[in-house]
Amino acid sequence: MTLLRQTLTIAGKDLRSELRTKEALNASLAFSVVIFLLFSFAFDPGNLNLDINEFSGGLLWLAFAFAAALSLNRSFARELQNDCLDALVASPATPGVLFLGKALANFTLLLAVEMISLAVFSVMYDVRIRPQFGSLLLVILMTTWAMTVIGTAFSALTVNLRMRELMLPILTYPFLIPPLMAAILLTTDLLAGMPIGGDNAIWVRVLVAFDVIFSLLAVVFIDIVLVG
């Protein structure tokens, strides 16, 4: 199917470019570790009276969100060099396909950074991730997709603007408040060993609804952004 082939071609191109230089990958990873380190100065993790379970989710997702900003920015920015964006828009690939291809690549890269960061986090803060790992993975996948959809769409939006690096975080973070909230609540519960269900099931619904609705909106409306 051509749509799939085109989407995978674009995703593959982005991934190949990124893996060859590893610039964004290394920067994001380093950044999230730095955040974990800095947070440790805000309180004393060695203090046995301190319950990491109260804010484990918050800390983790703040680190993920900030690291995401580093890699998402490059998503459409890399097309500006040599006028590649024009060639892509002029090609038979529809703007929706362009968007999905890039979103897929961003998602993969972000997920890689998050998985490594999660491992580092569990070591640094002595948090057990095995008990509810399946559910945790689900939450991570859904929230990462939410960040990717908004981040990639806004990367396209700001690609030609003067203050691109600054504008992307300013625009993106307020939008991500609902999924990040859901992720933080769910992750905190899951890392404390509580399964999903009852009280926090509603947050799974929020994530699913957010993902579905904004993915649709992005794919449908992205050609407004990409085609002048």
Partner 1 sequence: MTALEVDAVWKYYGDYPALRDVRLTVAPGSTVALLGRNGAGKTTLLRILAGLSKPSQGKVKVYGADTRDEATRRRIGVLGHGISLYDELSAIENLMIFGRLYGLPDPARRAEEMLERTGLDRVRDGLVREFSRGMRQRLAVARVFLHDPELLLLDEPFTALDDRAITVLQSLLAGMHQRGRTIVMSTHQLREALELATHVALIQRGQIAYAGERTAEMAADTGWLYRTYGGNG
Partner 2 sequence: MREKILYGLGLVGMGLLAWNLYKIAFDLPHQANVAAYQIVYFHVPAAITAFTGFFVALVASGLYLATGALKYDAFAAGVTEVAVAFASVNLATGMIWARYAWGIWWAWDARLTSMLACWLIYAGYLILRRAIDEPTQRARLSAFLSIFGCVDVGFVYKSIEWFRTQHPAPVLSIRQGGGMGPGMESPIYWNWLAMLCIASLLVIVRMRQEDVSREIDSLRRMAHSY
The burial of 48, by beta-carbon neighbours within 10 Å (0-12 exposed, 13-18 middle, 19 or more buried), is given as: exposed
Which residues, 6+ apart, have CB-to-CB distance to 109 below 8 Å? Answer: 15, 18, 24, 25, 28, 71
177 binds, among partner 1, partner 2, none (CB under 5 to 8 A by kind): partner 2
Q: Which of residues 41-100 bind partner 1 (CB under 8 A)?
A: 78, 81-84, 86-94
User: Within 10 A of 92 (CB to CB), how many other CB atoms are there?
Assistant: 7
As a whole number of angstroms, the distance between CA 178 and CA 188 comes to 16
From the list 12-20, 23-31, 128-136, 169-177, the region that binds partner 2 by CB under 8 A is 169-177
Phi/psi region, residue 176 (left: phi>0; alpha: psi -120 to 50; beta: rest), is alpha
181 binds, among partner 2, partner 1, none (CB under 5 to 8 A by kind): partner 2
From the list 15-23, 111-119, 149-157, 179-187, the region that binds partner 1 by CB under 8 A is 15-23
17 binds partner 1 (CB under 8 A): yes
Q: Which residues bind partner 2 (CB under 8 A)?
A: 150, 153, 157-158, 160-163, 167, 170-171, 173-175, 177-178, 181-182, 185, 202, 206, 209-210, 213-214, 217, 221, 224-225, 228
